[in-house]
């Protein structure tokens, strides 16, 4: 009898072991298969477009896409298998094999930098980014696995238990199946919600990856001996300025003061105003495009003159996506905040050259639109313009939707305003640099069309075309190409 019981126990243990192995295999398989099916169906591509429509470039959209698919695959695996561990592991395997390995391989072959020179990896930078990416993936896979398992216990396990109970009673046989405790299921669900909260906090901690992209802070230019000997660093500061145009509120700005600014107490400098895109902030040009590092390097190589760089906050208090324009109802005058508030403030608080010929304005995406629009309205303030990844038709709630706002749309659509006598006259006083990217869709088409329009009008314009999409590395490169044209080195 004891021998029979022992054999039965061994068989039960083997059965349980086999069952666990099958659940592990099923959990990992589902976590891997669901994202792949999601991609093959085309839904992942649609999700990419939706993410990019929110203002994310292709690099960041791809990262967010893979993180969401990791979350989805782990959640469905946890739901169906009702085991969080295999779902968690499967999600991590998916992220590592489908995204991380490819990212590491590509990151080791950088393109040329904003100054046109070869770039190299910053020691330790790739390892730090990989750890941050793994942390985000771990949180996504974990949150999905726990929430999926919890919903499985809340929804599926009770149904299975009730089904077994129903069948047993129909057969009039005893059943030992118990309906799981609702409190246990809810505790698992709460754990999943807690993990989601940790994921959100982790995303905040990984802000540079999601705001600027995972490759933005990986590289530094390969310095030659001559550049290293001549390299001096400017100073980046930040502060606030009052804006009567926006109701008297304070606005933030970041400013780069060239290397000689602190020593040459009587020297005055040209200015270059940089407008961010959406989403973006006053720090974006320094955090995402490293405008200060590019300026330092170009100065050391003798390609530009020392220039003050200014980047302000263009997010509207009433219309968040301000388009750097005055709203149709005059309740948010962002264009006036730049021209009437920011420029005079900088001129009165820093040693600037105040002629329009010594002022440039530039921007990316929404800021690229804003830079051209503002310069066309104020050639007496800005003579030089840079736009990269921009568009040139008025769009968004800030311009209104009523039929009577048609003339206001035309006034704030550079491609249309250029056809008017005022637009032609104002444009004739400007020098424009336009940056476009081959995979940037409408931004590529609109930028190229604007360049052709300016050439037809015999307006001074230069075009830079780069391979890629709507991304920070390209905007940084176009800035490095535009700066020597807009602020060329003075003859010695």
State the total domains in the chain: 2
pLDDT at residue 349 in the model: 96
262 and 161 in a common domain:
no
* pLDDT, average across residues 169-187: 56
Q: If we measure between CA atoms, which residue out of 47, 60, 480 comes closest to residue 285?
A: 480
Q: If we measure between CA atoms, which residue out of 258, 418, 412 comes closest to residue 335?
A: 412
Residue of higher predicted confidence among 36 and 256: 256
Give percent of the chain with pLDDT exceeding 70.
78
pLDDT at residue 364 in the model: 95
| d(C-alpha 390, C-alpha 414), whole Å | 11
400 and 420 in a common domain:
yes
Residues 139/199, Cβ–Cβ less than 8 Å? yes
Q: If we measure between CA atoms, which residue out of 438, 436, 492 comes closest to residue 467?
A: 438
pLDDT at residue 225 in the model: 44
Residue 401 pLDDT class (50, 70, 90 cuts): confident
Domain assignment present for 371: yes
- Among 148, 181, 212, identify where a domain stops: 212
| d(C-alpha 332, C-alpha 335), whole Å | 9
Residue 358 structure tokens: 């010594």
254 and 144 in a common domain:
no
231 and 206 in a common domain:
no
Residue of higher predicted confidence among 425 and 173: 425
- Among 212, 239, 273, identify where a domain stops: 212
Residue 50 pLDDT class (50, 70, 90 cuts): confident
Domain assignment present for 217: no
Classify burial at 423, counting beta carbons within 10 Å of its beta carbon; exposed 0-12, middle 13-18, buried 19 or more.
Answer: buried
Domain assignment present for 242: yes
Residue of higher predicted confidence among 58 and 396: 396
pLDDT at residue 417 in the model: 96
Domain assignment present for 492: no
Lowest-pLDDT range, 87-91, 156-160, 270-274? 156-160
Per-residue pLDDT tens over the stretch 240-256 = 999 999 999 999 999 99
Domain assignment present for 229: yes
In this predicted structure, the answer to whether residue 287 has a pLDDT above a threshold of 70 is: yes
pLDDT at residue 8 in the model: 54
255 and 195 in a common domain:
no
120 and 71 in a common domain:
yes
* pLDDT, average across residues 252-273: 94
Domain assignment present for 383: yes
199 and 247 in a common domain:
no
In this predicted structure, the answer to whether residue 448 has a pLDDT above a threshold of 50 is: yes
62 and 34 in a common domain:
yes
Strands (DSSP E) contained in 56-204 are 119-121
**Average pLDDT for the chain:** 83
* pLDDT, average across residues 78-98: 88
DSSP lists the bridge partners of residue 274 as: 311, 362
275 and 165 in a common domain:
no
245 and 371 in a common domain:
yes
pLDDT at residue 454 in the model: 96
- The most confident of 68-72, 86-90, 213-217, 373-377, by mean pLDDT: 373-377
Residue 201 pLDDT class (50, 70, 90 cuts): low
- Among 212, 240, 271, identify where a domain stops: 212
Domain assignment present for 393: yes
Per-residue pLDDT tens over the stretch 351-391 = 999 999 999 999 999 999 999 999 999 999 999 999 999 99
351 and 477 in a common domain:
yes
In this predicted structure, the answer to whether residue 53 has a pLDDT above a threshold of 70 is: no
Q: Residue 116: give the domain boundaries.
A: 2-212
> What stretch of H or E contains 361?
strand 359-364
Pairing verdict, β 431-437 and 384-388:
parallel
In this predicted structure, the answer to whether residue 167 has a pLDDT above a threshold of 90 is: no
| CATH number, position 345 | 3.40.50.1820
228 and 201 in a common domain:
no
Residue 196 pLDDT class (50, 70, 90 cuts): low
């Amino acid at each position: 009898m004891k021998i029979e019981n022992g054999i039965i126990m061994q068989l039960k243990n083997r059965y349980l072991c086999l069952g666990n192995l099958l659940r592990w295999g099923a959990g990992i398989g589902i976590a891997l298969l669901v994202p792949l099916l999601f991609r093959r169906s085309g839904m992942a591509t649609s999700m990419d477009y939706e993410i990019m429509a929110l203002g994310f470039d292709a690099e960041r959209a791809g990262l967010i896409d893979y993180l969401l698919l990791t979350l989805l695959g782990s959640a469905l695996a946890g739901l169906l298998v009702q085991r969080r561990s295999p779902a968690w592991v499967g999600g991590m395997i998916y992220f590592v094999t489908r995204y991380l390995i490819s990212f590491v391989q590509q990151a080791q072959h950088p393109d040329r930098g904003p100054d046109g020179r070869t770039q190299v990896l910053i020691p330790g930078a790739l390892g730090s980014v990989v750890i941050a990416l793994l942390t985000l993936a771990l949180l996504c896979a974990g949150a999905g696995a726990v929430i999926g398992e919890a919903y499985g216990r809340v929804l599926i396990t009770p149904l299975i238990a009730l089904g077994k109970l129903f069948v047993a009673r129909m057969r009039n046989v005893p059943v030992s199946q118990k309906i799981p405790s609702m409190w246990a299921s809810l505790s698992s669900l709460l754990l999943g919600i807690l993990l989601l909260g940790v994921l959100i906090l982790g995303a905040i901690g990984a802000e540079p990856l999601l705001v600027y992209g995972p490759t933005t802070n990986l590289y530094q230019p390969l310095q030659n001996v001559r550049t290293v000997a001549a390299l001096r660093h400017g100073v980046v500061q930040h502060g606030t300025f009052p804006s009567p145009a926006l109701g008297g509120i304070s606005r933030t700005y970041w400013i780069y003061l060239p290397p000689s600014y602190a020593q040459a107490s009587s020297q005055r400098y040209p200015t270059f105003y940089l407008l961010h895109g959406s989403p973006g902030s006053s720090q974006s040009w320094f955090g995402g495009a490293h405008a200060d590092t590019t300026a330092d390097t170009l100065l050391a190589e003798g390609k530009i003159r020392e220039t003050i760089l200014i980047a302000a906050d263009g997010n509207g208090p009433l219309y968040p996506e301000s388009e750097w324009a005055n709203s149709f109802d005059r309740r948010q005058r962002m264009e006036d905040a730049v021209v009437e508030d920011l420029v005079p403030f900088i001129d009165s608080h820093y040693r600037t050259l105040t002629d329009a010929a010594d002022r440039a304005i530039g921007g990316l995406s929404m800021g690229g639109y804003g830079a051209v629009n503002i310069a066309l309205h104020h050639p007496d303030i800005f003579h030089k313009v840079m736009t990269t990844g921009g568009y040139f038709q008025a769009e968004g709630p800030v311009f209104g939707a009523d039929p009577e706002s048609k003339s206001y749309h035309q006034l704030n659509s550079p491609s249309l305003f250029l056809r008017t006598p005022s637009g032609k006259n104002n444009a004739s006083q400007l020098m424009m640099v336009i940056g476009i990217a081959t995979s940037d869709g409408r931004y590529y088409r609109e930028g190229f069309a604007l360049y052709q329009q300016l050439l037809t009008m015999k307006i001074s314009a230069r075009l830079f075309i780069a391979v890629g999409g709507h991304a920070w590395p390209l905007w940084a490169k176009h800035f490095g190409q535009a700066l020597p044209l807009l602020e060329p080195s003075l003859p010695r």
